[in-house]
Every structure is written in structure tokens, then in C-alpha cells.
Amino acid sequence: MTLNFRSRTLTSLAKVFPDEYPPYMECNSLTALKNEECAFQVAFSAEYHDIRIHHFLVSVESDLDCVPYIVECTPSDLPIYSDHDPYILRNGEPGLYPDLLRPITPETRIFVPTGQWRSVWIAMPGMKAAGKHTVTVKFHYGNGTVFASTKVTVDIIDAELPKQELLHTSWFHTDCLSTWYNVEPMSEEYWRITENFARAARDHGVTLLLTPLFTPPLDTREGHERPTVQLVDVTVTKGEYSFGFEKLTRWIEMCHRVGIEYFEMSHLFTQWGAWHAPKIMANVDGEYKRIFGWETVSTGPEYYEFLKAFAAALIPYLEKMGISDHCIFHVSDEPNINIYEQYSRCAAIIEELFPGFKVIDALSHIDYYEKGVVKCPVPHIPTVEDFIAAGVPNPWGYYCCGQYKLVSNRFFCMPQARTRVLGLQMYKFDLEGFLQWGFNFWYSQLSVHPIDPFRVSDSGYAFPSGDGYVVYPGEGGEPLPSLRLKAFNEAITDLRALRLLESLIGREKTLRLLEKGLDQPLTFTEYPRTEEWLLAKREEINRAIRRALKNN
């Protein structure tokens, strides 16, 4: 049997394409903190002429807990819009992009077409003992014969990342879970799967979970409905409203079980205009039916009276549950300047009925903040610095399909370093929170029909591939991660490492170290565009932490 096997050990920032020798820096060693997930990859290519050896196995040996994955490619018909900037992969051409991480077991057969490149991803999550450790990755036949191996040294610093302060939400779509797995909302299987995905979200930096008080009025074609995932039971008896919170209680308990402390209440008015009410189902004199929706005028007396009764019941409930200071509300997502008056009327209703609660909305126009309509704006990343200049303290930020020039984002065709650099930027500008709309949006644009995320990555030719989701639906209701999910989590750990360093040497010195060697200050649009710089900067941060701990 003849097998020509080549391999390269790479960092977590590589994206290995099947038809290309991976042009990335080698990774023979790395450093991390004790409670930080770190990772590396082994890229490989095999040429063979015997059908009996077209697959092999991978094993990992280490005193560290290691989780191996095979990196699989996902098709992309729309990697990026045509007027993109140059900081992308493959010039934005359609094709196969490495993204999906599928777990490897000792019995997993790795199939690779002859001559093509693939990679295995080795993650080291959880708590690790300080000191140097060796991780050995072996490639072998089914009979146990090892034909290739590689070693990486992992140096664990005797310190832990501080608790994540950043409020991070990646919108969690439980109706997509229900649709893909064909389970009834609120069934036991629905709750089991939902908890699996909520845990994965928390494990990757989500601290604020979109909570469907009512079916969220997001990405829905006018006149169309998304599946009902409403957590609040509404009863109407002779015109009087009453509310049941048993499902919401179960949701809160689930979140606490997986480690999520903050609750992002779903929007109380429709998207892009706040003209209508969300779909709200109720038991009306014994009949279960929709009582509000696209036909409802958002500022009309009927919906106002409903919200008034709802607030009067919800606020004491949240106080009883002990989470009222961990709840955030929305009016309407992404209002444009042309609907300022309409949005203002709806915002005034929420401010009146939910006094003292934080209300946030993603927006692009600073007028909403300057005129006091939105007190906690979530500007898209290119305008964050404008909002800071206007006096917003500890701002939030968000990106979606529209932020594809110059700034960080997480599309398939963007380098991992472009996704990860956001952590350094969020530290410099002291962001309180970050929002992205698609943790697991597996519908077409406007939720017209379901899509298969293993085959359709652009929401039906609507958004650049990767905008709508960072996890895939695995077997048995288990989420499968993506390279982009891991890169964003690394961004958050970079941010937390900087917070640790700040606690040791102060913010001023930490900022000086962050921008050391740069020709111009770090901004959301100006930053070095190489994996080498980003990884070297993180190593510099780690050395400074180690030095500060020694001096203290």
C-alpha cells in the first residue's frame, strides 16, 4: 500500500481549503490561561492509489482534556456582496468553505479524496493545570499502525480569565430548533434540545439570551407567521387579561442551569418600523387563537391596554424571580430615520409601562440617542466611535450583513483573524455589550421557508454565508460548532485577558501595550490585517500577565 501523507500544524486562525496548500504560519507551541479554551489545527493531505486506504483514524494523547474535530466544508453561493473590500478569502468566489466542526471519536473514520487538504481541530476547553503540556496528534490505520504524528507544546499560565463582563447576545431562534428537529414547541424534546443549544451558546460567550415572551417579530414577511414559541400564557375572559408564567419560569431555570444570567426580552413591536404588534396567542373564552399580529396597529388603544395589563403582571413576577435587574427590553429592531416619529411613540409606551428597565435597540442613526428616544443604543460597528463622541458611555455594538467593509465580521469568506480582532477593539472602546442576530437562524430571508444549513448558508441568496448562524444542527439534538463560533469565542477570551492584565497593571498601561508597534491607533476600521500580528499581540499580553503576576 502506498500513501503519500503531508501535514502541517497550524494555529486556530487557519482556514484550510481542499484545493490549496495552507499558506499559514506553523504552530508548534502556544500559551493560554488555565480556564481558557485554546486550540490548534493539523492540516493534512493524502495521496493514495489503493482504495483500501482511502480512510484512516485520528487520536490525541495528552494529560490535557482534548476534544478533536474534523473541519468540514459548507457550500457558499453568496460569500460576500460584490463591492467588498480586499480583506477576504478567495476574492469572495462561490464554492466550498471550511466551517463546520464535527466531533471525532476513536472510531471515526476520516475520509479524504486523494490529494485534497483537510484539517483536524484540537480544542482544549475547561480548567487546565499550570505548566507545560504536550499534545500529540496521531494518524493511523484501522489496525493501529501510526503513519504520521505531530506534537504541540501548550504552556498554561498560572492565572484564570476573569468573569466575562461583556453582555453578549447572539439571537437564539427556538422555532428553528422546533422546525429542524420536527418537535412540538414546549414538548419535553423541545426543551431538551433548547437546553443543549443554550448551553453551547453560553460555552461560547453568550451571556444574554433572547427570551420569547411572545413569538419574536424578527425576520418575518409581512402577513406571514413564524411558529409559535410564546413563553407567556395569555387568557382573555370577558375582555379581561390574565397571564401564566409557568413556561417562562422553566426558561429562566434552564438558563440558570447552563450559566446564563441575563434575559433579553423579545421585541414588543415589529421590525423595521414598529408599525404592528408581534403575534400573540391567547385562550379567549375557551378558544385558543391569535389576538394580535400584523393586523394590529402598534399604538392603538387595544394593544396599549394589553401591554399595560401585561406589564402590571410581568414586573412583579420578574421581581419575585429575582431577575428584574438582569432583564433587557426591546422596542423594534433597526429603525431607520424615516420612522422616527412612529418609533418614538412606541418607545414612550415602553418607557411608561416598564420604568427603570434597560431598553436597547440596534440602530444606525444617532438622532435616536441625541434626542433621548433610545437611551441605550446599539450602533452598528462602523458608527460606534460616532456614538462615543456624542457622549454614549460604555456603548454597545452590533454587526450583521450590512457591515462587510473594513470592519470585523464573521462571514465564511472572512479570515478568522478578521473575526477575532473584534475582542481587542471591544476592549479599547470599552463596550458594554455586543449583539448579532443569528446564532441558529435556519430559515430563508423573512422566514418564508426552512433551509438546510449544511447546504444553504446564505439564507436563500439573501445574506453573505455565515451571517445567519454559527452552529449547525447535529444528531440527537446536539449543536455542532463552526470555525467562526470558535473565532468569536477567542475574541471574547482576548477581551477577558486584557481585563485581567488591566487589573494587574492598570488600564493606561494595558492600552499602551495593546497599541504598541502600531503606526496608527487601533479603531474598528484600522487594524493590522494578519494572523501573525494578532497572535503575537496575544502572546505579548500573556507575557505581560505572567510578568505582572511574578512582580506582584
pLDDT tens readout for residues 38-50: 999 999 998 887 6
What pLDDT band is residue 55 in, cutting at 50, 70 and 90? confident
Contact call for residues 219 and 238 (beta carbons, < 8 A): no
Distance from first CA to last CA of the chain, Å, rounded?
59
Contact call for residues 377 and 387 (beta carbons, < 8 A): yes
pLDDT tens readout for residues 139-194: 998 889 999 999 999 999 999 999 999 999 999 999 999 999 999 999 999 999 99
pLDDT at 75 over 60: yes
pLDDT tens readout for residues 432-487: 999 999 999 999 999 999 999 999 999 999 999 999 999 999 999 999 999 999 99
For 167, the enclosing helix (H) or strand (E) is: strand 167-170
Residue 111's pLDDT is 86
* Mean predicted confidence (pLDDT) in 523-527: 98
How many angstroms separate the CA atoms of 482 and 69, rounded? 10
Phi, psi torsion values for 410, nearest 5 degrees: -135, 30
Residues 6+ apart with CB under 8 A from 180: 442, 450, 473
Domain boundaries, the chain: 3-157, 167-215+249-268+299-485, 502-551
Residue 533 is classified by DSSP as H
Amino acid (1-letter code) at residue 52: R
Question: Residue 506: left (phi > 0), alpha (psi -120 to 50), or beta?
Answer: left
How many angstroms separate the CA atoms of 550 and 239, rounded? 69
Burial of 4 per CB tally in 10 Å (0-12, 13-18, 19+) = exposed
Residue 3's pLDDT is 78
pLDDT at 271 over 80: yes
Residue 226's pLDDT is 98
361 pairs with which residues across the strands? 377
pLDDT tens readout for residues 339-363: 999 999 999 999 999 999 999 999 9
Per CATH, the homologous superfamily of domain 3-157 is: Immunoglobulins (2.60.40.10)
pLDDT at 234 over 60: yes
Buried b (16+ CB within 10 A) or exposed e, 507-524: eeebbebbeeeeeeebeb
User: Percent of the chain, pLDDT > 90?
Assistant: 94
Residue 426's pLDDT is 98
Phi, psi torsion values for 343, nearest 5 degrees: -60, -40
Residue 52's pLDDT is 57
pLDDT at 416 over 80: yes
Q: What cell does 552 get?
A: 506582584
pLDDT at 51 over 80: no
pLDDT at 1 over 60: no
* Mean predicted confidence (pLDDT) in 500-507: 98
Residue 126's pLDDT is 86
How many angstroms separate the CA atoms of 365 and 24, rounded? 40
* Mean predicted confidence (pLDDT) in 328-338: 95
* Mean predicted confidence (pLDDT) in 511-530: 98
Domain 167-215+249-268+299-485 carries which CATH code?
3.20.20
Amino acid (1-letter code) at residue 357: F
